[in-house]
Structure 1
Amino acid sequence: MFYLMILAVAASRFLPHPPNVACVAALGLFAGSYMSGRRAYLVPIGVMGLSDVVGHMLGIPGLGFYNLAAMSMVYLGMAASVPIGRKLRNASGTSRLWKIPAASLAASTVFFVVSNFGTILAGWYPMSVAGFTACYINAIPFYGFTVAGDLCFSVVIFAAYELSRARFYTPAMAKA
């Protein structure tokens, strides 16, 4: 199921959408919550890598390879959603219902801080107090898009999984 979700999320990056509205961080939260070990980190990294390779080959604006420092920080920011998702693992019931939006907001905020630091490392802003201030102030509109996208996609992914699990789960599946 995770492999299908990876492909679906990677494909979703090719659909028209506002800037920073993507379901990669939501999938990272989901992977962190439901997958064990290091392979959970491969989910958001795999989505980004797959879609960037295809986007680069097809020459799609906004996808593909660019400055290594900035790109590395974007990937790191996406991967940071996994440990946040791990915190959701032990929550259940009503507690989990409220923790998913909070985790989504945390993932958006971490991505905002880390990815914008990458733009400074890339040299797109001066490495000074004024440069940091300008970078983060100019990125505030993108942060709003990131929060909206992460929140919506997190609710959809977690709800779809829980509803399908409630509908199709049998005790025999737990033994498999």
Structure 2
Amino acid sequence: MKKEKMLNKPNLIFFMIIVLAAVARIIPHPPNFTPIGGLALFSGAHFKNNKAYLIPLGAMLLSDLFLGFHSTMIYVYFSFFMIILLGKLLRDRLNIIRLGVISLTASVIFFMITNFGVWFTFDFYSKDVRGLTNCFLMAVPFFRNTILGDLFYSFSFFYGYQFLDLIIKKLSFSFKKN
């Protein structure tokens, strides 16, 4: 019985989302242009239980098995944990402006937390305000792709889901008529 529950359709869909997001991180792509930020926002907005955390963080962990683990992972995972919480602000209040603003906020959260982690963990920069500022400045070229990726994937997940939901409802209605 427990095995049947694990293999039901919703769990299979969640597993497939994790695998697809992990694959998207592994295949060649522009630096920082990945689906995890958008997926974290979407998960926070759409799932009220632990799946909100399991899906994006599971995708990260699965892809990190292939990409390798590193000393700043805690900052990366923590930033996505915070972005999942941010996604809860979109629950039942989605519109284009709000999604755009929250997606940009997610990009800033990721940028600030992960680059603080680089500054704090490594000896690349002096451990003072000047070193932290320099660390942030050196990361700016990567920030563009973080923003673009978060916007692209956030809009894709949220509005793709609405589109698929609409199609499923229309198909369901047309089958009921026949």
TM-score bracket relative to the smaller structure: 0.7 to 0.9
TM-fit CA distance, 1:157: 1.2
**Do structure 1's residue 163 and structure 2's residue 163 form an aligned pair?**
yes
State whether residues 44 and 53 of structure 2, in contact with CA within 8 Å, keep that contact through their aligned partners in structure 1.
Answer: yes
Gaps of 5+ in 2: 1-12, 174-178
- Could you tell me how far apart the structure 2 residues matched to 1:103 and 1:8 are? 23
1:113 alignment counterpart: 112
Q: Which structure 1 residue ranges, 4+ long, deviate > 4 Å from structure 2?
A: none
Larger Rg: 2
The alpha-carbon deviation at position 38 of structure 1 amounts to 3.4
SS in 2 for 1:80: helix
| Alignment counterpart, residue 35 of structure 1, candidates 11, 27, 47 | 47
Report sequence identity in percent: 35
Q: Does 1:152 align with 2:156?
A: no
Partner of 2:89: 87
Q: Secondary structure at the match of 1:29?
A: helix
Displacement of 1:120 after TM fit?
A: 1.3
2:131 corresponding residue in structure 1: 131
Greater percentage in helix = 2
CA distance in 1, matches of 2:53, 2:105: 17
For residue 40 of structure 1, report the CA deviation from its aligned partner.
1.0
TM-score, normalised with respect to structure 2: 0.84
**Cα displacement (A) at 1:87:** 0.3
Q: Distance in 2 between matches of 1:97 and 1:131?
A: 37
Q: Distance in 2 between matches of 1:130 and 1:157?
A: 38
Q: CA deviation at 1:91?
A: 0.5
Higher deviation after alignment, 34-43 or 110-119: 34-43
Write the deviation string for residues 56-90 of structure 1: whole angstroms up to 9, x where unpaired.
xxxxxxx21121xx110011112221111100003
- Contact 2:38–2:151 (CA under 8 A) maintained in structure 1: yes
Q: Displacement, 1:39?
A: 3.1
How many residues end up aligned between the 2 structures?
158
Aligned equivalents of 1:117, 1:98: Cα separation in 2: 28
Letter paired with 1:34: H
Structure 1, gaps ≥5 residues long: 56-62, 172-176
Matched position secondary structure for 1:139:
helix
> What does the per-residue CA deviation read over 1:88-129, in whole Å, with 9 as the maximum and x for residues that have no partner?
00314xxx2221111110110000000001101212322211
Listed as ranges, the matches of 1:1-150 within 5 Å are 1-53=13-65, 55=66, 63-67=67-71, 70-92=72-94, 96-123=95-122, 124-150=124-150
Give the letter for the 1:122 counterpart: T
Over aligned residues, Cα RMSD in angstroms?
1.5
User: Residue 60 of structure 1 corresponds to which residue in structure 2?
Assistant: none
Q: Distance in 2 between matches of 1:135 and 1:32?
A: 29
